[in-house]
A and B are shown apart, each in its own frame.
Chain A
Amino acid sequence: MKNFLIPATALMLCVSAASAWAAPGTALRNDRLYSQPSATSKVTGSVVKGASVNILAKKGGWLRVTSGRSTGWVRLLSVRAGAGGAGGVGVGDVVGAATTRSDPSRVVAVAGLRGLNEEDLKKARFNPDELARLHALSVSPAQARNFAGQSGLAAVKVPALPEPQPAQSSSPWETN
């Protein structure tokens, strides 16, 4: 959804994004709704933590949602998709099946499929052949830079994000 996309593609993507995201969501924090996907645009309303919203579209770091009688753009990280409530796994996840995106290309047979589990990992024996295969696949930094340059990717200066305020007990991760 960047300006380098030709308009037709952009329109198509918007339509597909809109249909893909026409799904229930829950506000994760109090935040504002804006008329455009930009914090400098007009404020059209607000959401409170835990409020149910309907997600209409996604663009970059923004979601277009309706909440009550207001519609507007809210920061992507202020809303979760799915109706599970603001605090992780909730009763809403029981109906999660209905909210999962229904793109047929994504359907994977789940029945009879057993994922990786702790037992498999515990019993795992060192596999030197697969490790050698992995090592043979590695690429050099020069190859990676060349690959990035082919699509116009360039390193950008982005400052680190702040650590959360030490509200909870100190963690060894923070002290190390």
Chain B
Amino acid sequence: MKIKWMVLAVSLFAISGASAEFDFGKLLEERINQELNKDKKTQPAPAPATPQNAAATPPQEKPKIDARQLGFALFGDYSLEEENRIGKQIAGDLLGAVQLVRDDKLQNYVNLVGNWVALQSGRTDITWRFGVLDTEDINAFAAPGGYIFVTKGLYRRLNNEAELAGVLGHEIAHVSQKHHLKVLKQSSLIGELGKAVSSKAKDSDQAVQNLIGNGAEIMARGLDKNAEFEADRIGIVYAARAGYDPWGLPGVLQDMAALPAKDSRTSLLYKTHPHPADRLAALGEAVNGRLDAVSGKDLAKRFYRIR
């Protein structure tokens, strides 16, 4: 059985490609260890069990991966309902770490801009929700199901609506491309986590929590850097499609590139994202002259200034 797990682990790392650069690898390793330990604990001792024990422990179910679950991990997709439940749990956890800024005009403004940009993403099956988090940290977050957050620290640095649209476009792209769900899907191969999310059991919120880890730590693990580069490429296009000056997101990245590396407000951002200089370079390769003919609005006058 142990060998079976080892084979599974090895094949999973093979699937994940260059595992060394993935935070996902770490997540997976922890999950596998958890499962292996659980296995050890529940393994019936070789000594003859008492009748009570035998009754309490039903014939040991092998932690097998059934074909359905393997198929899901390789080719399947979370249903819309599952996506919403996962997103809701992550968003609620994140809001347990940091509250929303108590400024309804600000929150309404960000929801209006965000929904307009999200309309360009083609995902109309979810309700997009945007929130400004009350922290001076410079960062933004996305969770499945259309939950998008930007910190007050980042918002303060923005100069116009096009820059806000660019930042939100990047986060919207993480949702439209289902980047977090792809990571979770792979970890769901381990143990019962995959099945648990789709179950209607009354403790299924706990099951969702088990899938995403402790609290909102999934937001601290980050995604593969290629997912970040992809979100930059797609986000800049969403903002342009919404009629904004496409140079909003690059402008924000330039601003962050000029910040001192040791600034504590960007430590989490840099833990989970490539350095802005690398993002600018990757975006430059993709854009080249392709947006030369695009002219949009920056709407500096309408931009809501934070108090």
* Contacting residues of chain B (231-262) with chain A, CB-CB under 8 angstroms: 233-234, 236-237, 240-247, 250-251, 254-255, 257-262
Closest Cβ–Cβ distance, residue A65 to chain B (whole Å): 12
A143 touches B115 (CB 8 A): yes
Interface size on A, residues (CB 8 A): 86
Give the docked Cα–Cα distance between A86 and B257 (Å). 11
B115 touches A144 (CB 8 A): yes
Q: Mark A111-140, 1 if CB is under 8 A from B, else 0.
A: 001111110111111111011011101111
B296 contacts A by Cβ under 8 Å = yes
- With a cutoff of 8 Å between Cβ atoms, the chain A residues found around residue B226 in the complex are 171, 173-174
- With a cutoff of 8 Å between Cβ atoms, the chain B residues found around residue A158 in the complex are 237, 240-241, 246, 291, 294
A86 touches B136 (CB 8 A): no
Q: Which of B136, B156, B302 has the most CB of A within 10 A?
A: B136
- With a cutoff of 8 Å between Cβ atoms, the chain B residues found around residue A162 in the complex are 286
Using known A-B contacts A88-B274, A121-B220, determine if residue A144 contacts B294 with beta carbons closer than 8 Å.
Answer: no
A148 touches B280 (CB 8 A): no
Give the secondary structure class of B's interface.
helix
B4 contacts A by Cβ under 8 Å = no
B49 contacts A by Cβ under 8 Å = no
- With a cutoff of 8 Å between Cβ atoms, the chain A residues found around residue B97 in the complex are 116, 120-121, 123-124
Closest Cβ–Cβ distance, residue B238 to chain A (whole Å): 9
Q: Mark B262-292, 1 if CB is under 8 A from A, else 0.
A: 1111111011001111101111111111111
Give the docked Cα–Cα distance between A141 and B126 (Å). 11
Give the secondary structure class of A's interface.
loop
Please give me the residue from chain B that is nearest to A97 by CB atom.
Answer: B260
Give the docked Cα–Cα distance between A172 and B93 (Å). 27
A96 touches B282 (CB 8 A): no
Give the docked Cα–Cα distance between A158 and B169 (Å). 14
B277 touches A28 (CB 8 A): yes
B128 touches A127 (CB 8 A): no
B187 contacts A by Cβ under 8 Å = no
Interface size on B, residues (CB 8 A): 116
B243 touches A93 (CB 8 A): no
Give the docked Cα–Cα distance between A68 and B50 (Å). 86
- With a cutoff of 8 Å between Cβ atoms, the chain B residues found around residue A154 in the complex are 243
A78 contacts B by Cβ under 8 Å = yes
Neighbour of B92 across the interface among A94, A127, A147, CB < 8 A: A127
B96 touches A144 (CB 8 A): no
A96 touches B220 (CB 8 A): no
Neighbour of A84 across the interface among B111, B130, B277, CB < 8 A: B277
Using known A-B contacts A2-B298, A88-B277, A153-B244, determine if residue A130 contacts B92 with beta carbons closer than 8 Å.
Answer: yes
A147 touches B116 (CB 8 A): yes
B258 touches A23 (CB 8 A): yes
B214 contacts A by Cβ under 8 Å = yes
21 CB < 8 A contacts A-B: A76-B247, A84-B261, A88-B278, A89-B270, A89-B277, A96-B261, A100-B260, A101-B255, A108-B156, A115-B266, A116-B137, A123-B97, A124-B215, A125-B96, A143-B115, A153-B244, A155-B120, A156-B241, A160-B233, A164-B282, A164-B285
For the A-B complex with A81-B257, A151-B299 known, give 14 more contacts whose Cβ atoms are closer than 8 Å.
A61-B246, A61-B250, A116-B139, A118-B271, A127-B95, A141-B124, A147-B116, A148-B242, A156-B243, A158-B246, A159-B237, A162-B286, A164-B229, A172-B16
Interface residues of A (CB under 8 A from B): 1-2, 23, 26, 28-29, 38-39, 58, 60-61, 75-78, 80-82, 84-89, 93-94, 96-97, 99-101, 106, 108, 110, 113-118, 120-128, 130-131, 133-135, 137-141, 143-145, 147-148, 151-164, 168-174, 176
